[in-house]
Amino acid sequence: MQLSISKNWQELNTQKVTADTAFAICLRHGTYMANFETLEELMLMKYELKKMNTGQNYYIGGRNVNRYKSGGDWRWIKPGKMTKMIYFAFDSSEPNGSFSSPEDCIMFHGARGRGNRFHNGCCDCYATGFICEK
């Protein structure tokens, strides 16, 4: 399903895949995993997901690139480029991964009652979808 968010469009995909598989699928389609670099982009996506009321979790393009650093070093990933996150929309108690229990990927939590916030999770785990951006 395509949504028009900001100057870019977003595509919600409901395939149950790992974050790395989602990353590859987006690239194969000439897109990349969604980056929410501003509050405005995040609010528009929250609005669209709330209307859809799916309750699903979607992988997005944020990654922790240094699990040795307390709290991590979170970046937005685009082809050939990493941008340091300056806007964080993590839920309370997130991010909560560690070196021994890595949670280096981000899901946009669309579950009902969870407030449509970011949750860090295992990159090898399966989410109920992912969001690509062009």
Q: Per-domain residue ranges for the chain?
A: 11-133
Mean pLDDT of the residues in the chain = 84
pLDDT recorded at residue 131? 92
CATH of 11-133, one of 3.10.100.10, 3.40.50.300, 3.90.650.10, 1.20.1090.10: 3.10.100.10
DSSP states along the chain = -EEEETTEEEEEE-----HHHHHHHHHHTT-EE----SHHHHHHHHHHHHHHT---EEEEEEEES-TTSTT--EEEEETTEEEE-----BPTT-----SSS---EEEEE--TTTTS-EEEE-TTSPPS-EEEE-
Percent of the chain residues topping a pLDDT of 70: 88
Instruction: Kindly report the pTM of this predicted structure.
Output: 0.86
The mean per-residue pLDDT over the stretch 65-69 comes to 88
9-13, 87-91, 112-116: least confident range: 112-116
pLDDT at 115 over 70: no
- At residue 113 the predicted structure's pLDDT band, cuts being 50, 70 and 90, is low
pLDDT recorded at residue 48? 80
Percent of the chain residues topping a pLDDT of 90: 36
